[in-house]
Amino acid sequence: MSKASKPNTAKHFATMAIQSTEPKGDETGSVANSIYPTTTFKRELDGSYNSGYIYTRHDNPNRQLLEEALATLEGGETAFAFASGMAAISTMFQALKAGDHVILPDDAYYSVQAVAKDVFKRWELSHSIVDMTDYEAVQAAIRPETAMLWLESPSNPQLKISDITALSKLAKANGAITVVDNTWCTPVLQKPLNLGADVVMYSTTKYFGGHSDCLGGALVLGEPVSEELAPVLKNIQSLGGAVPAPFDCWLMTRGIKTLYLRLKQQSENATKLAKHLSTHEKVAMVHFPGLPTHPQYDLSMKQMPEGSGAMLSVQLGKSQAETMALIGKLNLFTAATSLGGVESLIEHRKSVEGDDSLTPDDLLRISVGIEHIDDLTADWDQALDKL
C-alpha cells in the first residue's frame, strides 16, 4: 500500500506515466529503475527499520513504486498490486463478510463468475448475475445485504457498455460499493473513479505489462472508501501473500512508461479494423463500442472519450468448426487466450469458457496489437476470401 504522495505537476497522462515511474531516492543517479529482489530488510538495534521496509510480502521498493504510479495515474487514493488479476479479484471478495450479496455482470471475464460460484459460495457469499445494460434489472437485483456491484465495461467478450455513473449512483444509494474491472481500458481510455465508482480493478497482465510476459493485478481505491477499505485490503494482501515479485513489479512499471503510446495505437488500429470488418460481406456482426451501430455507442463515447479500446469480437454466422478454421487462415493473429500485448491475438472464446458459457458459437475475440493496420486488414481479407 502506498499513498499517491507526489504533487501532480504533470497535466497529461503521457507525462504522468513517465514522471510517476521514475526512480525515487536512488543515490546512484540511475535513470532506469533498480530491482530489489531481496525478501528481507535490515533492522536497527533499537528495533526500527531505516528504510521503512521489513519483509517483501509486506512491502518492497519495486511494489511501492508500482502502487504509487497506479494510484497517481488512476486519480485514486491508494493502490494495491497483486500477483495476478484473479488475486486482486479474490482479495476484493475476501474483503466482504459472510452473508453479503454481490451483483455480477452476465457478460464479464469468465473467472469472476467462477470464483463467486466455486470459491465464495462456500463462504456464504451469494451473487446474482445481471445484464448491466438494463438499469431496471440491476435495480431489481439489489437486496438489503447487497454489498458490491461488479462492473466490466466494455464487457468480455460481447463489448457491452454499462453506465458506470448511473449504476454507481444506484449502488451508493443502496449502501453498496461499485468495483469496475477496467482492464480493457486502463486509465488512458476510461477513469471509473471520476465516473463515481469506488474501486478500480486491473489485470495488469494485459495492457499495463503490454508484452504478454508478466502476470499481475491491482486494486485502486478512490475517496472516500479508501479510508475504511485500504487497511482491510492491505491486511489481506499482506497476510494472503498473493503479491507480485519485485521483478514483475519492475516489468509492470516499465510497461507503464509506454502504456499511453501503445494503447492509443492499438485503439486506433482496432477502430479501423472494426470499421473494415463491419462492411465485409462475410462478417455477420462486429461488436465494438466505437462503431456507431453499437447499441451503447453514445454512452461509450461519453465514458471512453480517448478511444474505444483495442478489443473487438466478430461473429461469422457459421458453425463453430468453420469459425475455428478461420483462425488457421490468419497469418498475423496468433491463436491464444489473453490480450493487451503488442502482438495481435485471436481466440474462439466459447470453447475456452466451457459448456455453460453464454458466448455465441460463431464468435471470435480479437486483441489488436501495434502492427501496421494495412497488414492487419489485408490478413483478414485473404482469410475471409477462403471462408
Ligand X SMILES: *Cc1c(COP(=O)(O)O)cnc(C)c1O
* Footprint of ligand X (CB under 6 A): 84-86, 109, 152, 156, 181, 183-184, 203, 205-206, 215, 217, 339
Phi-psi region of 7 (alpha: psi -120 to 50; beta: other; left: phi over 0): beta
From the candidates 3, 6, 57, 275, give the one annotated as an active-site residue.
Answer: 57
206 is catalytic: yes
Nearer to ligand X, 196 or 244 (CB): 244
**Rounded least distance, CB 155 to ligand X, Å:** 8
180 versus 384: smaller Cβ distance to ligand X: 180
Nine-digit cell at 43?
533492522
**How far out from the chain centre does Cα 118 lie?**
22
- The angle that helices 246-278 and 373-385 make with each other, rounded to 10 degrees, is 60
Shortest-Cβ-distance residue relative to ligand X:
85
Give me the least distance between CB of 330 and ligand X, in Å please. 21
Which of 53, 100, 107, 109 does the annotation list as catalytic?
109
Query: For this structure, is 53 an active site residue?
Result: no
For the CB of residue 156, give the shortest distance to ligand X in the complex, in Å.
5
Catalytic residue among 181, 198, 248, 379: 181
Name, in order, each residue with C-beta under 8 angstroms of 103's C-beta and a sequence gap of 6 or more. 127, 128, 130, 138, 141, 142, 146, 148, 149, 150, 176
Give the Cα separation of 153 and 182 in Å (integer): 7
Contact 256/17 with Cβ under 8 angstroms? yes
Which residue, 86 or 176, is less far from ligand X as judged by CB? 86
Asked if 309 and 189 touch (Cβ cutoff 8 Å), the reply is yes
Measured from the CB atom, the residue of 105 and 384 that comes closer to ligand X is 105
Could you tell me if 269 and 376 are in contact, meaning their C-beta atoms sit under 8 angstroms apart? yes
Is 57 annotated in the active site?
yes
Report how far residue 290's alpha carbon sits from residue 297's, in angstroms, rounded to the nearest whole number: 6
What's the min distance (Å) between Cβ of 280 and ligand X?
A: 26
Catalytic, 143? Answer no
CA 281 vs. chain centroid, Å, equals 33
Q: How far is the CB of 94 from ligand X (least distance, A)?
A: 15
The smaller minimum CB distance to ligand X, of residues 53 and 80, is found at: 80
Name the residues annotated as catalytic.
57, 109, 181, 206
